[in-house]
Structure formats: C-alpha cells, structure tokens
Amino acid sequence: MDRTLERPPVWRRYGPYALIGMIVVGGMAWLLHGAGISTYRVPVDQLTIGTVTRARFDDYIAVRARVAPLAIYYLTTEQGGVVKRVVVQDGATVKAGQPLIVLSNSALRLQVASRDAGTANQINAIENTRLSLEQTRFSFQQRLLDIEHQIAVIKGKLARDKILLRGQAIAPMLYAQEQEQYRYELTLRTATIASSNAQQRVRDTELAELRSTLVSLKNDLAIAKASLAALTIRAPIGGELTALDAKVGESKASGAILAQVDSLGRFKLTARVDEFYLGRIALGQAALFTVRGRNYQATLVKIHPNVSNGTFKVDLHFKGAVPPGITVGQAIDTRLELGGASMALLLPNGPFFQDTGGTWAFVLTPDGRFATRRNIELGERNPDDVEVLQGLTSGEKVIISSYQGFKSVQRVELTRSGHDD
C-alpha cells in the first residue's frame, strides 16, 4: 500500500549548500583581502629571525686596529738634488744624527760659494767703515786733548804774567792778548766737545746699523752653508729606517719624502671607524682587546676628522702594559667603549638595519606564518644588539636578515620545506 513520505527539514535540505556557500564566500574574501596586500613568499630557512628581549646593553663598537710606531719622522729634502750615496739600507736600525742619504746639488754649491764671496766682501767693507768711524772719533779726542793742553799752557802763562803786569814788567796789551787767546781756547773746547758729542751720536747709530747688517750677513751665510749641510740626510731620532725611496742617480725635488724613521720599541694603535660614529667618538674613550689570551686596554688620544671612503681615522695609546712581541702592521680586534651599560629592550643586530635605517621592520605574526611591515624606532647599536625605543615589545620576533628583494612589499609569507603550496 502507498505510504506518504515526510519531507526532510529545511536545514537538512539546504544546510550543506549554505555551508559550501559560506566557505566559498570566505575563501573569496580571503583571496580579495590578500590581493590588496603586496606579499612576498620566502622560505623561512633563508631568513634570520631575532627575538626582542630586555637585557643589558653595552654601548660599544668593534673596530680592527693596527699596530703602528708611536712616532714617525719623515725624511724630506730641503733642497732638491741627485742621490749621490745611500749610506743605510731599508729596515736598518739607526742612531740620531747618523748620515743616511747624501745628495748632490752643483747649482746650490756654486750659489753658496758666490754668496760666501759676496758676503766676505761686504763684511770687509763694513769693517773698513767701522775703522774709519773709529779713526774719526780718535781724531776728535786728539784735537780735544790739544785744546785742553793749550788752555792749560795759557792759563799758567796768564798767572805768571799777571804778577809781571803788577810790576810793570810787561805791557798791558800783551796780557790782554793772552786773555783773549784763553777765552778763544775755552770757546773752541766747548764747540769741539759739542761737535764731538754730535758726531758720537751719529757714529753710534751707524755702528749699530753696521753691526746689525753684519749679523744679518753672517746669518745668511750660515743658512746658505746649512743648505749644503742639509744635502746629507741624517736620522732625526734613533729608530728603524723604513719606506726608503732613494736610489743612486735619482733626481729628487725639494720636499720629496725619501724615507721615514719609526720609533723603535714604542707603539700605538690606529683604526678606521665608520663615519656614522663621528659624532659619538671622543678623546679619552677606552678600547679593550685581547692578545694571546691576556686582556689589555688603550685610550683614544687623537681623532682625524677627515672622512675617506666612509671612514675616519683614530689613534690610541696603550694604557698600562704593552702586549709583548707585537709588530708594526699587526691587526688587533678592539672593543671601543662609547658609553656605559644599561638595561634596555634589545633586538639582535642584523643587515636589515642597513636596508631600513632602523625606521621599520618585518614583524612576525603570532602564528609565524607571516611577517608584516611595521614602523619602529631604534636607538644606539653595537655589533650584537640594537636598542628598541618604540614599536616592538618583548618576545616579538623580527626578520633581521637582509630585506633585499622584498623591502618594497607590505607582507612576507614564510614557507617551510615540504609544505610549500
């Protein structure tokens, strides 16, 4: 017999279709959302991931320093010339004042010889002038002596004739003539003294000028002879002769560097520092390093501010003991302290900093499937860590390897081997 069948409930009839529709709509929404964000897929094993942590931050930079002589004296030519003889070879230990290189300059020798002869003639002329002035002074003195003698003779004669005049033994006119002669001699003495004093002042001025000229001429001659002596290059200090650049017969211009003398057994460190740190480097900062398992310290004593190829040079002096057995040119890895230690939020340092300038980074989502671009603010950094100021929290993970190839996207999808779609 026929039986009436009951119709299934609505949810049973249409539920599967609704579920499938919801899945399709959700998938389309997900695809549309993903299509609106630029995404780059990269295997996770090709990336370096760093975790944000709170820890001690040591403010330092690592620099490779090299051992250099504490003092370097360059041997230059004051006067150009031809290398006549090389007395000491490169690498030899020399003493202060020791002849090292001998130059020859014929033109300079002729010039000095001519100046020597000319100076000698001028000195003779000056001596003759000085002798003439002395003779004039002697003549004045002799004339004054004659006048003084004449006055004394007339004075004695007047005293004697005065007695005779009282006895009327001589004529009054003769006595009057003697008085007139006496007054004349007195006036002549006064005039002679005045003239002598005036002449003496002129003579003193001329003699002073002559002495000054004579000193100047002798100095010029000494300088000329020193120029000849400078053709023999001598060691300014005791040390090691290095960088010798002189061969017999070579012509060297004035000011050319022929070699250098390095201080023996006395060293310093020199290093090149990235120009990024130019504003943070200061005199007196400490540098720590290890040689053969022993710790040493140096102090920054000089900053060369000229930047070349993105770096500048600094000099450091050893503080305390000097590592035994070090040699010029030896490389030493040093830790240059820029500031003290402090607790901070830290992110491991990596190549991403050069790509972003520390203003943003790719931060992993909690499930680790994606990394999204986020603006951040970073502070000081050392070779190991960089200080986080804003934008990140402790425990978050960040891609710290290079962003080359995907730094223009908004999101990075991290894929794993064996699970790539």
What is the CATH code for 63-69+264-341? 2.40.30.170
158 exposure class (CB count in 10 Å sphere: 0-12, 13-18, 19+): middle
pLDDT of residue 18: 62
Query: 344 - beta bridge partners?
Result: 55
Helical axes 172-229 vs 106-166, angle rounded to 10°: 170
154 neighbors 181 (Cβ within 8 angstroms) = yes
pLDDT of residue 11: 53
**Token pair of 156, please?**
């004695």
181 neighbors 158 (Cβ within 8 angstroms) = no
Could you tell me which residues come within 8 angstroms of residue 182 by beta carbon, excluding any fewer than 6 positions away?
Answer: 151, 154, 155, 158
Sheet of 81-86: strand order equals 232-234, 99-104, 81-86, 251-252
- CATH fold of 38-57+344-415 reads 2.40.420
The per-residue pLDDT for range 158-180, each reduced to its tens digit, is 888 788 878 787 888 888 888 88
**Residue ranges of the chain that CATH labels 2.40.30.170:** 63-69+264-341
| Three-state secondary structure readout of the chain | CCCCCCCCCHHHHHHHHHHHHHHHHHHHHHHHHHHCCCEEEEEHHHCCEEECEEEEEEEEEEEEEEEEECCEEEEECCCCEEEEEECCCCCCEECCCCEEEEEECHHHHHHHHHHHHHHHHHHHHHHHHHHHHHHHHHHHHHHHHHHHHHHHHHHHHHHHHHHHHHCCCCCHHHHHHHHHHHHHHHHHHHHHHHHHHHHHHHHHHHHHHHHHHHHHHHHHHHHHHHHHHCCEEECCCCEEEECCCCCCCCEECCCCEEEEEEECCCEEEEEEEEHHHCCCCCCCCEEEEEECCEEEEEEEEEEEEEEECCEEEEEEEEECCCCCCCCCCCEEEEEEEEEEEEEEEEEECCCHHHHHCCCEEEEECCCCCEEEEEECEEEEECCCEEEEEECCCCCCEEECCCCCCCCCCCEEEEECCCCCC
Class of domain 74-103+231-261: mainly beta
The per-residue pLDDT for range 264-286, each reduced to its tens digit, is 888 999 999 999 888 889 999 99
End-to-end CA distance of the chain: 58
Question: What percent of the chain is modeled with pLDDT above 90?
Answer: 43
Q: Above 80 in pLDDT, residue 38?
A: yes
pTM of the predicted model, to two decimals? 0.55
**Residue ranges of the chain that CATH labels 1.10.287:** 107-227
**Residue ranges of the chain that CATH labels 2.40.50.100:** 74-103+231-261
The per-residue pLDDT for range 319-356, each reduced to its tens digit, is 988 999 899 899 999 999 988 788 999 999 999 999 99
Could you tell me which residues come within 8 angstroms of residue 411 by beta carbon, excluding any fewer than 6 positions away?
Answer: 37, 38, 39, 40, 370, 371, 372, 373
The per-residue pLDDT for range 184-208, each reduced to its tens digit, is 888 888 888 888 788 778 777 877 7
- CATH fold of 107-227 reads Helix Hairpins (1.10.287)
pLDDT of residue 9: 62
> At 18, phi and psi to the nearest 5?
-65, -40
pLDDT band at 65 (very low <50, low <70, confident <90, very high): very high
Which segment of 65-74, 195-204, 237-246, 255-264 scores lowest on mean pLDDT? 195-204
pLDDT band at 54 (very low <50, low <70, confident <90, very high): very high
In angstroms, rounded to a whole number, what is the distance separating the alpha carbons of residues 35 and 46? 24
**Residue ranges of the chain that CATH labels 2.40.420.20:** 38-57+344-415
pLDDT band at 1 (very low <50, low <70, confident <90, very high): very low
Q: Above 70 in pLDDT, residue 421?
A: no
